[in-house]
Structure 1
């Protein structure tokens, strides 16, 4: 069974606005939803409105002070709130508020929808109600414990993983966004209970500037952070040649109880910020490959700044998740049909961009990563313990936070 999470009443998540000039467009969520319904994919899965995350749940990862700031702040009172957190400049700088991460109307509500979707998805996986859970409004992987980063304010991926860890000894996080999944990696950098694996563009000052191959974790988490830095122009064949061998070795050696796959659409060809050259089919093959392992799987959104291509890819990948091949189908009429002209097809094609990833580079990188995996303990485990109680069941103040 596939459980699909999307706040559809009244199209909440798609109505938020980072600003007319900003690259992040939540409207893409409305576009995905409209296509899913018109492709009739909703008939193959359960669609549910998740419970929105509370401030208390967010502070399982984020600091109390930071979440309090997000609850209080708005475009109208930003200067006043900043003064209460150390002064006008200091109060904004400490939480990394600026051009990339502006304050917009409903910022806390937007974050609660995204985080609530990933927490609810994790709950459905751990309860056995779903084999695959999808939250395309999630995948905001850059947010840190004490600050916003890279258009991300609350790290729903980390919160979802923390929920999965209540029931699973090991969780694997995979990131195919064009940007390094730095916020998730940082959160679990010192533990062996979460392995993070990020495939991303690296070099020439590309954001966030982290994710070298040699960055593999610290302490107990040594070797449990896997970074796959790729160069501009990587195409379907090159991506598959490294993605599948690396993931195969991780799945066989690490043996995760659940997998979280962040499907950022900015690794597609034609993105406004990314410089990869993946087609819709190449991007979707990652979802198809993970599905073949029959391990509880959470699919999250993420980046994606060509909203037409991103919504195409996530629709296509929802089809993969539910076992419906949309490759050769005509695009049905939907609320955003005019956005997809002149071809009006569910397709994102690679361009003639040069692939700067040589076969030698990819083979050497794969060999280094696989060798590192072989040197770590097989299927690390923790002692059996009682599943921790969920705070929402015993904290009487939860509804007020």
Structure 2
């Protein structure tokens, strides 16, 4: 073990201000709650805290099609009627609504994951955390499952500039289909997803038989689970499979997606994991001592999401947190007991020992088929930033805002020229 991990943590307060709509399960407000809980436990004092840069369209187009990125830039709630064909083409609508500051939201969470990968690449930290990231369903040319830009794919592409092989691990209750699809034909990324699998459960992919194709054959690993899996069953399977992956694949870096909808009692989930069980996966991956990029993901019972990611921030720092939640701006959400841990649930575990055994055997068999730690012809590393050059003198002086002043803005920029935006609605839903 390294004596002391250096941890970079990325957060921008604006990311929690967006609002998907009154009946939408995705509440970015959970990110503010998480951050305030992290602050209340004083974890920020043990990490380097950064505000991420807003990813440029040209950076997003490293994976996404330029026409899709341009569409996300142009669409607003007021103009979506004019783009009805594009709305269908790019799969925006009920699950992936158009809301105010949609593109800026994407730029912030994707920028955090890209920055995290770059700090790891430059050996400026051992672990990088972006709880706003982990939006694993977005595809090259379309939104999907509340995800518009796939920050994970962009982060992995950054890591591939410095690492021959990258391991992606996903413990969200939903299959990490967008990340798997992006790397389905390559052996440079191994994707491992533990998820609920069933005909009617979104996104309907992730069968154990889906293993990748061509050069990527056997480099996609799916662990399909049934309702009610508990800490013990999940952890035994997780540790066995991840150890076997490490032995066969020998990655240079790991990306861990910590979707909290796999917790017991999640509004959209159906697993029985406690926060301790979920966090045990994070601790296990940390002990592998590789450059580690950690993101959020799903999670639709907000107060449990905030609890979970705070406990996991502590776990990555090697800090055990007291169970009584300290005073913070969102303390009322943690009533009546104001405790950090929440127990596992009472759903029946439909994963029999023989079922889990069969899955484990099949995954290990597939792993035995791969060429041990495939070699890669590494090319010259491209530069980190593909940023257009601006001529300061050509910019309208009225629009030119000093970066430092911009960073001091607490409100969103648009509040200065579009009248008051009332964000209070994000506080009221639960």
Report the TM-score when normalising by structure 1.
0.95
Q: Does 1:341 align with 2:335?
A: yes
Select 2:208's aligned residue among 206, 213, 228: 213
Contact 2:54–2:111 (8 Å) recurs in 1: yes
Aligned match of 1:146: 141
Alignment of 1:61 with 2:55, yes or no, is no
1:6-60 Cα offsets, whole Å, 9 max, x none, are 11xxx20010000111100000010011011110001111101111101000000
Instruction: Tell me which of 339, 346, 365 is aligned to 1:371.
Output: 365
Where 1:115 maps in the other structure, the secondary structure is helix
Q: What's the secondary structure of 1:226's corresponding residue?
A: strand
| Corresponding position of 1:21 | 23
Of 283, 287, 291, the residue aligned with 2:286 is: 291
CA contact (8 A) 2:118 2:384 kept: no
Counterpart in the other structure of 2:126: 131
Q: Does 2:355 match 1:361?
A: yes
SS in 1 for 2:185: coil
For the 8 Å contact 1:280–1:313, the answer to whether it is kept is yes
The structure 1 segments of at least 4 consecutive aligned residues displaced by more than 2 Å after TM superposition are 389-393, 395-400
Counterpart secondary structure, 2:386: helix
- The 3 A distance-change label for structure 1 pair 211 and 163 is same
Number of paired residues? 388
CA contact (8 A) 1:164 1:171 kept: yes
Q: Show structure 1 runs of 5+ residues with no match.
A: 83-87
CA RMSD across the alignment: 1.3
Instruction: Point out where structure 2 has 5 or more consecutive residues left out of the alignment.
Output: 1-5, 396-430
- CA distance, structure 2, for counterparts of residue 32 and residue 389 of structure 1: 33
C-alpha separation between the residues in 1 aligned to 2:190 and 2:231? 25
- Residue in 1 that maps onto 2:96: 101
Does the CA contact (< 8 Å) of 1:54 and 1:398 recur in 2?
A: no
Instruction: Return closer, same or farther for 1:398/1:171 CA change in 2, 3 Å cut-off.
Output: farther
Q: Give the deviation of 1:219 after TM superposition.
A: 0.4
For residues 95 and 346 of structure 2, the distance between their equivalents in structure 1, rounded to whole angstroms, comes to 30
Q: What displacement does 1:101 show?
A: 0.4
Q: Give the aligned partner of residue 295 of structure 2.
A: 300
Q: Which residue of 2 aligns with 1:85?
A: none
Task: Quote the Cα distance in structure 1 between the aligned partners of 2:379 and 2:353.
Answer: 46
The one of 200, 222, 228 equivalent to 2:223 is 228
Aligned equivalents of 2:93, 2:207: Cα separation in 1: 26
Q: Give the C-alpha shift of residue 368 in structure 1.
A: 1.0
**Number of the residue aligned with 2:252:** 257
CA shift digits 1:178-230 (9 cap, x unpaired): 00000000000000000000000011410000000000001000000000000
TM-score of the aligned structures, taking structure 2 as reference length? 0.89
SS of 1:12's partner is helix
Which of 240, 244, 247 is residue 235 of structure 2 equivalent to? 240
